[in-house]
Chain A
């Protein structure tokens, strides 16, 4: 039986955060990201990784300083995850290479990419029309064996599990744009069940290549405000016109408060609640009544054992698409009520873009830093308020504030809604 102070109000092991790491287009590490985020600096820039001729969107928040010369999405995603997890595990003080818990990693779906398709087509010797039969034929040489492992969905997680010495079967997961939050949720659940004293939870995404961008572009999801890249992502503004793709990774060491206390680790904050709700309305759009978003937020508060009045700040999903921001504001108003008009809410995506699979984890780290530093990063590029979103979006300039409890929202295609409650103190 654990000491009462190590359990939450439902008697479950209390889940502390003892290590965090992050990398985005703004830089590597918490310090660099925090400095940029609180200065209101944007990491969005013109894409140089591949030619942009013929594209409607030519900007993104790619991470170009991590060896992008041989770009391949799973390779970059693994590098980003490794960087973030190294920072997190070092901060936690847990042994390197012998992590006392499981790995939950949100990874972008992998696929054979165009450079590999082209190489296979060339190796096939087909001089006429190329078909997949030719690509299949080219494999018979055995020259492409390494690409099998590279393009398996489980490879990034396996490499991370090997490097950090996590326990058990690592889980690679996707809940689309809420994946990072789901990775944290899985870790919270594992610790509450007592399966292990710790969990390493990572969200990573280094998948900005031409086809990935074109896919979102064809769905009209991306901003086309290419002229001034830093000003394209405009969450909650009336003139928002879509999200900007970003890359990055974040890692959190979750640990039972009892385990953290016993080894004298510094506790950076707590994950006191997680909630989720599916939406069966449409593949890319939320139910018009916002009910699933409302249910996910309410479930997170309920799981935390707190009421809406306890929320001091909302780290928004805030993608900057016309649809998302409207629905998110509506859902928040429904749960938190009139008070929501004065609860600060901001979107990190205004500066780093939408880091997709990584976003929920990146934003959880930023949320916990907000609590620790007492400064709320702004929503930049907010010049034209949207009357339909009557919220305090912390426009353009960071704000000092005492923040004890943060609601962090993540929503994704396929009806995925995942919300986390992060707190300075045990609830």
Chain B
């Protein structure tokens, strides 16, 4: 999947990282089919609880967006989640079967006039908690990356 400005760190496969790809059904709550294992693997690879919280939140938001806004809960469509976790890098790619969206068109939820609008915060949370996020040109796939801060490593 070609992502614009995809961040370039490739983990060394010999470092013994964890990888898994799963196709989730377009049902509410389907994220749990991968989340528990992902969180366990982050802990297993030495990630701090505060980082795990942020990754959990970002991936949850991305999967909900893919299921609800991307696939529009269509049972004929699935959401592909590919995970890669090493002690230095967590990389999660979430791809839906929808027609995509323009992330630049999401209004800034922190502007005064939008502060009390109850939706539209997921993408901002993903950007804040991850080191890098990139959408593909079609806008139906998002790549989330978190790099371990070497000072905390």
A, B: real partners: no
Q: Which residues of B contact A (CB under 8 A)?
A: none
